[in-house]
Structure 1
Amino acid sequence: MIHTCQIEGLTLQTGDIICTMNGKPDILPGEFWLLVGRLVPGDVDHIAIFLGPDGRCVESGSRGVIDFHLQDEIWDAELMTEERGLLLDTFYGVSYPFAGMQLAEDEESLMRMKVAEYCLSQIGKPYNINFLNAESEKSFYCSQLAYKAYQQVGINLNTGLAMEQLPGTNEIIYPQEIWDGCVHRAVKRETVSFK
């Protein structure tokens, strides 16, 4: 079954990818994740996959591959620490890998369910610290989990993004390349002006 929800005003369906920026200012664990986020190319440095129902998502973070639940259609990392641990991040937007593929509705639904089934079958596996081994299915980092799930339905989320002067980094599946390689929508942010 395909589930739908809203988060920060953006619509998600089963299999859509939640993109975040590491860190949340003004609290120590959040400041730590801001620093970690600077090591990852681009603004998007973490992803989770929406599955539903009831805001259920899957991600790979410090606790390995886990499921967690969105709270009241908002992204509040502090409210989710019991399930997610101290992964304090800020919602960036949603990537829609199926958008623009012109699939029949039933075909897309089957593909979304296959992505969800793959993600659920990985729960409990450890975090993959070997970012150069995106083909492993013994452990996962966040964007590798999405990459492998979408491989199951013939979609390649690896665009070949690489860090300059570092050979082999094009093998890494970066969260930013999932954002850049898919139709996406960013959350509207309030701008602050100083007078």
Structure 2
Amino acid sequence: MSSLVQQSTSPRQQIRQQIRQARRALSKDEQHTASQQLLSQFKQLPYVSSAQHIALYLANDGEIDTLPLIQWLWQQQKSVYLPILHPFSQGHLLFLHYTAQTRMTTNKYKIKEPVLDVRLVKPVPVLDIIFTPLVAFDKTGQRLGMGGGYYDRTLSSWHSHKTGPRPIGLAHDCQQVNSLPHEAWDVPLPNIITPSGLLNW
């Protein structure tokens, strides 16, 4: 049984390794240009203009920089939320209101997140959009994450009933692959924004 599991996960792990290497190889200039192009695409998204409560994340491991998006949302008087690892429910996320004054800490994955303050927690069903990180995506909107399943669990109501916040992926163009192996619990995305455009499914 273990060999079967290993065989089934091996292609996903290979894709993760290849795409993470590709995005980490981007130069600072390439990263800066990509983030500015992403912001231009982001501003045109009708889902953003009609939303008030928007979850994002801070870039890590070569991910496209989201700070320009966050700062623009603040200028538009939108409320921004960041994920933190749930302190009691393993494998789940909480989303906390995020401002320029938010106290930050570093989680077990070496990712910055807000210091837990229950007064700042926003229940997931009340969010309008959750912008999700991803390692790779394909031409059908399938998303490959880091393997922890955090966002798949967060977006389970969208996956099963199309209820709750709309999930939208953010990625470099180099993160697209032709086809991803996927499991029943994987949540495909209805939209992904890259520096070159908006993809819809």
TM-score (norm 1): 0.27
The structure with more helix, counted as a fraction of residues? 2
TM-score (norm 2): 0.27
